Amino acid sequence: MSAEAYQAAHKIAQKAYRSAMNNGEYPYLQALDDFLPYEQTAGEKYVGLLEIPLYLVVGTKTAGRQNSFSNNFMPLLSEESEFARKWANLYDAQLEEGIREPIVVYEYMHRFYVMEGNKRVSVLKSLKAVKISAKVTRILPKKTDEMENKIYFEFLDFFEDAEIYDIWFSQTGSYEKLTRHYGYKKGEKWTEEKRTSLRSEFQLFRREYKAKGGDKINITSGDAFLAYIDIFPAWQLHTQEDEEIRENLTKMWDEFLTLAQNKSMKILLEPQPKEKPKQSPGLTLLSRFLGSASMKQLKIAFIYEKSVDNSAWNYAHEMGRMHLEQVFGDKVKTTIYEHAEYTDNSEDIIEAAIDDGNQIIFTVAAQLANASVKAAVKHPDIKILNCSTNSRYRAIRTYYCRIYESKFLLGVIAGALSPTFELGYMADYPIYSTIADINAFALGAQMVNPRAVVHLHWRCVESDENRAWPERVQYISDKDWITPDHPTRKYGLYCQHRDGRIDNIATGMCHWGKLYEQLVSSIIRNTWKVDDEQNKNRALNYWWGISAGVLEIVCSQKLPGGTKVLVDMLTENIRRGEFNPFQCNWITQDGTVANEVNHQMKPEDIFKMNYLASNVEGRIPSMDELKEEAKEFVQLQGGV
């Protein structure tokens, strides 16, 4: 039996050797000492006796025995050799009572290199074992700015808490996210029960993922696992049949391919051109989409995190929903679903909307993004869109307004009117796109008043929310929406007088109805598919602005006529694409040149700004400074 096992392993080794030679690769095991100069290390640490994953054992510590094995640890030496007899004896011992003597390994950058026990590793790999007992010494690398190095030091923090080697990622932040998935915070020690659960769940997932061809996708098994448990709870892996797991993997496959692209979300700045499709006489666009025989209504759901009455945000979108009904009349039927505040509740509400026959679902809060993705993966025929500024998932599409354009115009107004040159800006969350809003306001003010200074406060920071503005600040930019049942004059750009009076000057307005109208029209006209075909394996975000007719400035009669003319002229230039608020020479707080005159910044660079203009007094808060309710939102939406 053992002789036959060696013969089979030897054949696998020869095949791997030939394949490596044909592909110009090294055919033997890597020796750590051959490629790791001592000066690149920062010392050694004995970690202890551990059960380590066999798939992470990739080579030898020294060059002594490396040529006895192919690069997959299968034996290359003759079946008549002493080496083959010892290998066969170990094979028998493993079958009879198990190999109990631990191997000795060195770990470097999350990979293991064998000092003692190469044949034991080879035998267990031939038997497709998962783990092996090992005495582990870690060789620490020096810290660098390379991505892999940063990920490794995040792994070390994770290992300190969880003592788990099994999982490796290709993106920073992933270990912290995995930790949150399992109910822990960084610095908390994991229980043995939780460690066992994660190892078991990951191995179950990895087995099916590899069997389906996951090794051919350019992401780690850890990346795929983290994406999977975002949608399907990890604990279900223990209770599901293998076929169910395979079905879930099939549903997730496009998301894995999107991850492998390693590209940021594709930002679509304008709607697709309205080309009239060919159609039969008397057949409307809508009937073509729905099917001329049935002529049934297009059913559209709007899902709100809170109620329409007590949320300015939801009220603005409710006006958009009503606009949609006015435009399409009885050809569409819209339904609202409220109070989707909590994870389980939001998932149930989306499922209820699908059960009710809705073909398009708008989830009108970034907090509903994860629930939206889960539903979209499970129901690929339903079009689900989430109102937020960031997504890495292909299953849903996100949408938002380019608010920095309106904030720039408000900055122009504030800079022109302020007699003190000092302005205020109240920001909500330090997420993608909001830093661009702040900078655009500051640059607008600076355009008309080079001495303009913008004092920045954050509503999501306890010490900032109620902090008094400097005495010289009169003109303040605040949120653009007001809550119907809690009216306030502190919205848009307003002037706060010393006696407490407030004059509203101007505000930005997102025409959500026009945005919804164009999105629904794109589905009816089938240009929705054009966006898909032009951006294979990319998450898509509609980031539309003044040029798409979904954003404008509304000014009060208190605005001087000359300033109004200037604002109208700049608005028209932005609409035509002849001017962008950031295409000027401006510098950041640390003196770095952010952009030069007439140079167009890429949408992605605007979207992901993580620095402030030099005339902003204030800073971007860290995660630790945020209110508790804000932390989850920033983590979800993508903090800067």
Residue 508: which of 542, 487, 481, 544 has the closest Cα?
481
DSSP-assigned letter for residue 588: B
- For residue 604, give every residue at least 6 positions away whose Cβ sits within 8 Å of its Cβ, in sequence order, or none: 264, 267
pLDDT category of residue 283 using cuts at 50, 70 and 90: very low
Q: Which of 141-145, 236-240, 391-395, 461-465 shows the lowest per-residue confidence on average (mean pLDDT)?
A: 461-465
The bridge status of strand 593-595 relative to strand 551-555 is unpaired
Can you give the pLDDT at residue 188? 94
The H or E element that residue 371 is part of is: helix 369-378
Residue of 514 and 479 predicted with greater confidence: 514
Q: Which tokens belong to 305?
A: 């995190």
Residue 323: which of 492, 69, 162, 515 has the closest Cα?
515
pLDDT category of residue 367 using cuts at 50, 70 and 90: confident
Question: Residue 638 is which amino acid?
Answer: G
SS3 sequence, 298-334? Answer: EEEEEECCCCCCCCHHHHHHHHHHHHHHHHHHHHEEE
Cα-flanking dihedrals φ and ψ of residue 602, to 5°? -70, 145
Can you give the pLDDT at residue 40? 80
* Separation between Cα atoms, residue 385 and residue 503, nearest integer Å: 37
Does the structure show a pLDDT above 80 at 489?
no
Residue of 441 and 257 predicted with greater confidence: 441
Cα-flanking dihedrals φ and ψ of residue 57, to 5°? -85, 110
The H or E element that residue 10 is part of is: helix 2-22
The overall pTM is greater than 0.85: no
Q: What is the mean pLDDT of residues 587-598?
A: 91
Average pLDDT of every residue of the chain: 90
* Separation between Cα atoms, residue 490 and residue 502, nearest integer Å: 8
DSSP, collapsed to helix, strand or coil, labels residue 140 as strand
DSSP, collapsed to helix, strand or coil, labels residue 188 as coil
Give the model confidence (pLDDT) of 5-60 as tens digits: 999 999 999 999 999 999 999 999 999 999 887 778 999 999 999 999 999 999 99
Give the model confidence (pLDDT) of 373-419 as tens digits: 999 999 999 999 999 988 888 999 999 999 999 999 999 999 999 99
Residue 504: which of 413, 403, 438 has the closest Cα?
413
* Separation between Cα atoms, residue 140 and residue 398, nearest integer Å: 42
pLDDT category of residue 627 using cuts at 50, 70 and 90: confident
The H or E element that residue 18 is part of is: helix 2-22
Can you give the pLDDT at residue 513? 96
